[in-house]
Amino acid sequence: MTTNGTLQIVLYMVVLIALAKPLGAYMADIYEGKPAILNQFGAPVERLIYRLCGVKESEEMSWTRYALATLWFSLVGLLTVYGLQRLQHLLPFNPAGMAAVSPDSSSTRRSASSPTPTGRATAASPP
């Protein structure tokens, strides 16, 4: 490993350890319903997001509603990433001028008999 790689790992660990105690205290305050300093900044944004999504903060969510919300969130995320990959050549901040990803590689769906990215068939391929 290079010196730069080692320094990055050490710096990451130092920052992680330094933030553990204050972040833990903040999370404990939030879970116990105590007022936290960051709520002054985050609460208005949270209320705006709730209002835009039609969520009532005082209502509990049933498991079916939660499952549907999770599925919708996943679908929107999937379509967003697919769109970003397909429209990559049109997006700003593309200094390398990379072309759009082809439709067959911008989805992660592969059948067992499809070739791997190296062009060889997988071991699970039927004879």
Look at residue 113 and tell me whether its pLDDT is greater than 60: no
Look at residue 115 and tell me whether its pLDDT is greater than 80: no
Distance CA 80, CA 74 (A): 10
Stretch 38-50: mean pLDDT: 87
pLDDT digits (tens, 9 = 90+) for 74-111: 999 999 999 988 988 888 888 888 888 888 876 665 55
- DSSP-derived secondary structure letter, 106: S
pLDDT band at 51 (very low <50, low <70, confident <90, very high): very high
- Cβ neighbors of 63 (< 8 A, separation 6 or more) are none
Q: What is the dihedral of CA 18, 22, 25, 27, to 10 degrees?
A: -100
